[in-house]
Amino acid sequence: MITLNGIGTFAFIVGLLTVTPGLDTALILRTAALGHRRRAWGVVLGIQSGTLTWGVLTSLGVTALLTVSHLAYEILRWAGAAYLVWMGGRLLWGTWCHPPGPGPRVARDATGAGAGTGGSLLGGWRQGFVTNLLNPKMGAFYVAILPQFLPAGGSRLVPGVLLAGVHILLAVVWACALIAFARMLRGRLQRPSARRLLDRVTGTVIAAFGIRLALGQ
């Protein structure tokens, strides 16, 4: 069985991973800062659905293919890199094709959702889920860390889901803090030029993650 000490150690490790600025942070902040409340929570749910999927697959031993099969890892790596570069590129292209005018402009994200309280929850979930699932380093992290906390004998699925649930809980708490912080910035982002700057920064970060993933660094 998993001990409380083991759960605490695992929570500390994934807690550090969660608060480290990265792609998930950029997606949540950008979506929430532009006022996509439903879509922002969709992104959060999608990311955590991906985390749960990685936890289940690791517990079942499926993700071990990423470490023993170079081809499987390369396919997933290039698919993830292409998706991130495409998503970041769309954000950047949107800032060049729709320069800010004298009046307020409706911001659009990488999947074409408008700003305000709208934005599809399902669209956000899909964006977060695909982004998380196409990240082979997420799978590699779970392959390296999760088995160390699973019991040697008996079923590993239930303990694996429990530990993934700890990760998800911490990530949701952090997402709440990010969304609350992003809502404080909404007033400053009413200017089209500020929204364009945010899109350019976020698009550059996302595309850079994709290029870094493609280069294998």
Residue 127 lies in a domain: yes
Measured distance CA(205)–CA(217) in Å, rounded: 15
Domain interval for residue 117 = 23-215
pLDDT tens per residue across span 16-68: 989 988 888 888 988 888 878 889 999 999 999 999 999 998 888 876 666 66
What does the block give as tokens for 74? Answer: 């390369």
pLDDT tens per residue across span 126-152: 999 998 988 877 877 888 888 888 887
Q: Which of 109, 129, 128 is nearest to 118 (CA)?
A: 109
Residue 11 lies in a domain: no
Residue 15 lies in a domain: no
Residue 16 lies in a domain: no
Residue 141 lies in a domain: yes
Residue 12 lies in a domain: no
Residue 77 lies in a domain: yes
